[in-house]
Chains A and B, each alone.
Chain A
Amino acid sequence: MPMTRINVGPVHPSTHGVLHFVVDLDGDTIHHIETHVGFLHRGVEKLCETRMYMQIPSYMEKLDYLAPLAWDDLYVNTVEKALGLEVKETAKYARMILLEFQRIASHLVFLGTLSNDMGQMFTTFMWSFRERDSILRFLEDVSGGRMFYVNIRLTGLNRKLPPDFKERAYALTDSLETKIRGYREMMESNPVFAERTRGVGRITSRQAIEYGVSGHVLRASGIEYDIRKSNPYYEYSKVKFRVCTETAGDAFARYKVRYNEIFESISIIRQALDMMPDDNNVEGMPIKLISPQAKPDIVINNSEMPRGEGIIYLVPDKQRPYRIYFRSGTYTNIAMLEHICKGIKYADFFAILGSMDLVAADIDK
């Protein structure tokens, strides 16, 4: 039978961004996949070399537009280390709470779009976006921005927390927990969803390490690795939470890891709220073009982002980065696709793509 070549993307509803796959099909079976990225390459690393330290955070937020706080926070925290600054105690908890809310918001987009891609038209999608919107509204009241917050400042946040911050955060976690528990039946008792994800795109733990996958893809293959646990930053060492893992390594396991992580995040938020001092002393340094001078040592900083491990390698100059490198989890996860998609059915490709949860802007940078 002659081979058929299909172009998936660059603009395709299932790629959730500008990605291009050239798929060679033998009947309905995938013979070969070639991944083309770079459509969103902005040269952020080069751009950062021409900007002062605190001009950069707004670029960071556009790396992963579904979880902007994660990169913003990692970057500012890296600069704090380069400059030798200490984060305020209350601000550490506040950042943790905001980051975990951000993680839930990002995971909700994943749940909604995955169920949509799997033919479960719109119900879970609408629900998850409803819950995500309640988080975005909360984050907007805290930071002043709805999608892009840019509210992390050196040593703290951009302004004091609202007076009713704790009450609202507790109430939000309660409502999220109740509502998201309801998703489970919608997803797992749906035979179409289970059929299309179970046993699809299996990655063994050995493959996961060999191909360097990261985040929920790594944990779904049975490897218990979470930066919040293995290399705790802020006050993550003081809160109790479980690293969610699955052993199957398929698309369903990746969904399951994400789903369970939402409840761990809710638990982390509650514990952090309990421990957070009441002094509301979270205001950081105002943005100034000239910041304190950086020390000459190289800084390597990492954090557990919603889409995998984010790492920044910073070679500091006095007032701007001499060289800065960003490693995102999605970059290695997408490289994995070519290897696991050989010999599968074409329809399964979208289940794998959806379960990887890629953001094109985060890959290209």
Chain B
Amino acid sequence: MEIQREALAKTLNEMRSKGFDYLKFITAVEYPDRLQIIYMFANLKTAETLSVELNLKKTDADLWVDSIIKEFPSANWYEREISEMFGITIKGRSAKRLLLENWNGTDPPLRKSFVWGKEYKKVE
């Protein structure tokens, strides 16, 4: 199901009340015109899954989304991953440390604009 960024927290709470309380993964896909974040939830009792998709414009000012750690603590590492790999700002979380440690983080590796073979400096 596709939702707007503003409706994220409300949708998650609704889903939780329907039994979709297990977060399977969060990932992102870069399409030519937009960046899509996918939240995959499951109801472990009925084994149903539900994906929530959120589309962002590919401008620096628009590449942000609210953190869902409070609702789903398991989102922690997935948010770190998409933030580092796609350059999406996750608002409302404190952890700044990158998963890849020495990556400079300015040129997100999973974006299509990533240049192969370019040398990157280590973060001190």
Contact = CB atoms under 8 A, between A and B. Distances in A.
Interface residues of A, number: 29
A315 B35 CA distance: 13
Contacts of B72: 210, 212
B30 interface: yes
A234 to B, nearest CB: 17
B25 A325 contact: yes
Contact of A212 (B23, B49, B98, B110): B23
Nearest to A336: B74
Interface string A291-303: 0000000001000
A212 B101 contact: no
Nearest to A315: B29
A105 to B, nearest CB: 26
Interface stretch (A164-172, A255-263, A327-335, A341-349): A327-335
A36 interface: yes
B22 interface: yes
A38 B101 contact: yes
Given A225-B44, A323-B30, A211 B21 contact: no
Interface in A254-299: none
A71 to B, nearest CB: 16
B27 A211 contact: no
B9 interface: no
B44 to A, nearest CB: 5
A352 B48 CA distance: 30
Interface string A182-215: 0000000000000000000000000001111100
A39 to B, nearest CB: 8
A46 B114 contact: yes
Given A37-B99, A327-B25, A45 B110 contact: yes
Nearest to B44: A225
A36 B25 contact: no
Contact of A38 (B22, B23, B99): B99
Contacts, number: 62
Contact of A335 (B21, B74, B101): B74
B29 A323 contact: yes
Given A38-B100, A323-B30, A46 B109 contact: yes
B67 interface: no
Contact of B76 (A38, A311, A322, A335): A335
A41 interface: yes
A231 interface: yes
Contact of A210 (B30, B73, B77, B99): B73
A281 B98 CA distance: 49
Interface in B16-68: 21-25, 27, 29-30, 38, 40, 44, 47, 49, 51
Contacts of B21: 209-210
B44 A311 contact: no
A309 interface: yes
Contacts of B47: 225, 230-231
A25 B23 CA distance: 32
Nearest to B74: A212
B44 A223 contact: yes
A46 B110 contact: yes
Contact of B24 (A38, A212, A223): A212
23 contacts: A38-B98, A38-B99, A41-B99, A43-B109, A46-B110, A209-B21, A210-B73, A210-B74, A212-B24, A212-B72, A212-B74, A213-B74, A223-B44, A225-B44, A230-B47, A300-B49, A300-B51, A313-B38, A325-B25, A327-B25, A332-B77, A335-B74, A339-B73
> Which 10 A-B pairs rank lowest in CB-CB distance, beginning with the nearest?
A212-B74, A230-B47, A327-B25, A325-B27, A335-B77, A38-B100, A323-B29, A211-B74, A225-B44, A212-B23
Given A210-B72, A212-B24, A313-B27, 18 more contacts: A38-B100, A43-B109, A45-B110, A46-B109, A209-B22, A209-B44, A210-B21, A211-B73, A212-B22, A225-B44, A225-B47, A300-B40, A309-B24, A311-B40, A313-B40, A323-B30, A327-B24, A335-B77
Interface of A: 36-38, 41, 43, 45-46, 209-213, 223, 225, 230-231, 300, 309, 311, 313, 315, 322-323, 325, 327, 331-332, 335, 339
Interface of B: 21-25, 27, 29-30, 38, 40, 44, 47, 49, 51, 72-74, 76-77, 98-101, 109-110, 114
